[in-house]
Amino acid sequence: MRFLLTLLLLVSSFAIAQTTPCFSFEENDFVLSGSATIIDDNTVRLTQASGNQSGFVWSQNLVNFEQNFNLEAEIYLGSQNAGADGIAFVIQAISNNEGSLGGGIGYAGISPSLAIEFDTWWNSGSDPTQDDHVALIANGEPWEMSAHSAYIPYVSVSNLEDGQWHPILITWDGTDKILSLTLDGVSIFSTTLDIPTLFFNGNPDLYWGFTAATGGANNLQQVRILEFCSVDSSCNTAPPTADSPQSFCSSVILQELQINGEYIRFYAEQTGTTVLDETTEIINNTTIYITQTIDDCESQDLVAVEISIENPTIYSNSFEILYCQNNSATVNLFDASNVFTSPNFSGFFNSVADAESFTNGINNTTDFGVISENQMVFGRIEDNVCYEVYPIVLVSENCDISIPQGISPNKDGFNDIFDIQNLYDIYLNHSLKIYNRYGDCIFEGDNTTKWDGRTKNGNLVPVGTYFYLLRLNNDSNDVYTGWVYCNY
């Protein structure tokens, strides 16, 4: 199983880019032959320090050279300054190909092919210099002097047989057809070269690997394959699908996005440089890019998903809900106002924090106790993908008094008393007078005394109509007059 490390990317349209997945070295991804053997997690020994050996390591799968290819590696060419013969990086069309020994560096005779040779032995009449050198040679012809400069001039380099590992970076831009080499951190060449067209009759599906050889002289020659970025020719995974834009309130975790696909990977930019963990929280409007991976094959296209973050609305100006406070001192929050009859209304809360987090809601909304002082609550209404929080001041006021128009003091438990609702224990200083039809005051009451159908001397009044005069004796000096019918 390949371990996916990072992504490189071919830029395409505004919404889709192409990816080049990168992998670490794993034995199952390569074919070894000749004297080559794996000696640790990422190191292949191509030849021992003995004569007439050749070793080869090739990619197991065909690579699509219409896409980008990058290779980070290190080469070790031994410690014998007069040793032989060198290592070559080779692109070719046959999986388990082998070339000749000695000065052939293991790739001579492989055709078609393109090799970057790191030559440490001077073959008189065939090599252009006695120095260790780098050359770009086509079709396995290291014996031809002219082949060393057919596409780029050969480059002399300092002694490579110094017992040190030498880092190399080989990059291939599949779009612009540019092949580049860096050795020991120094750029050796960068040249425009249409590899599939010039050397392989337009076939982009090729193998890559390393070869090495010894002859009469020898050296221990090894390669460390640290990371390679390539697209297998058999990789045809389609990209995932997702709606765009997707809107969320306050923030969203990437794994909560609505995406159709398998093993989704997230990237911060269209260049695919930064991989985002699926638990990353997005708090601002942005665009992320996604791929899916099926059977170790990551889709080459990055799909853009626009994320829209909406912020909740917290109103700073509160509005009042007036309610009358009677003896029960309670208010029905829903009856107090029709503001929250919307189907998107989600509840009342005691604080903004509770409303924002949608916790500790007020459950007893139909019998919400308010004792004496004004109180503030907060209502939450869902608004599309987000919500609004409204501060609400519950303002206590006296209820309108309700005066009955009849009394039947027959001791049956119904209407035995002239009971004026929302008066007693609220308007403590009120006065009530009852008059008969002759204008005589037959009863005088206050907050402690209610009329029970009797005159001042305690006699029940006869059936008939009586008249009341109610003074609240409040700040506005409200006065109520009217009639009440007495029957038995």
Q: How far apart are CA 157 and CA 294, in angstroms?
A: 44
48 and 104 part of one domain:
yes
Q: Which of 381, 397, 413 is the last residue of a domain?
A: 397
What is the mean predicted confidence (pLDDT) over 138-148? 95
Q: What is the pLDDT of residues 258-271, one digit of tens each?
A: 999 999 999 999 87
Is the separation of the CB atoms in 58 and 224 below 8 Å? no
Residues 239-253: pLDDT tens digits? 999 999 999 999 999
328 and 257 assigned to the same domain: no
- Please compute the mean of the pLDDT values over residues 146-153 and round it to a whole number: 96
Both 201 and 298 in one domain: the answer is no
Report residue 2's pLDDT band, with 50, 70 and 90 as the boundaries. very low
Whether residue 306 is contained in a domain is answered as: yes
3-class DSSP state of 425: coil
Q: Is the pLDDT of residue 50 over 80?
A: yes
- pLDDT value, residue 3: 32
pTM greater than the 0.85 cutoff: no
**Residue 83 covered by a domain:** yes
pLDDT for residue 326 is more than 80: no
Per residue in 330-378, pLDDT (tens digit) is: 666 665 445 566 678 888 898 999 999 999 988 876 656 655 567 788 9
Residue-averaged pLDDT of the chain: 89
249 in the same domain as 327: no
Cα(436)–Cα(467) distance, integer angstroms: 6
How many CB atoms within 10 Å of residue 452?
Answer: 16
User: Are 393 and 406 in a shared domain?
Assistant: no
Say how far apart CA 144 and CA 127 lie, in whole Å.
8
Q: Are residues 354 and 430 in the same domain?
A: no
Q: What confidence score (pLDDT) does residue 363 get?
A: 80
Domain check: are 344 and 440 in the same one? no
Judgement on whether residues 272 and 252 belong to the same structural domain of the protein? yes
Q: Is residue 8 part of a domain?
A: no
Look up the domain containing 476 and give its range. 400-488
**Does residue 250 share a domain with residue 286?**
yes
Is residue 291 domain-shared with residue 350, that is, in the same domain?
no
Q: Give the CATH number for residue 271.
A: 2.60.40
Please list the alpha-helical segments (H only) found in 106-226: 195-200
Express each pLDDT in 410-467 by its tens digit: 999 899 999 999 898 888 999 999 999 999 999 999 999 999 999 999 999 999 999 9
Amino acid letter for position 51: G
| Contact between 407 and 415 (Cβ < 8 Å) | yes
Please tell me the distance from the alpha carbon of residue 188 to that of residue 167, in angstroms, as a whole number. 12
Residue type, 456: K
Contact 247, 257 (CB under 8 A): no
Does residue 63 lie within any of the structural domains? yes
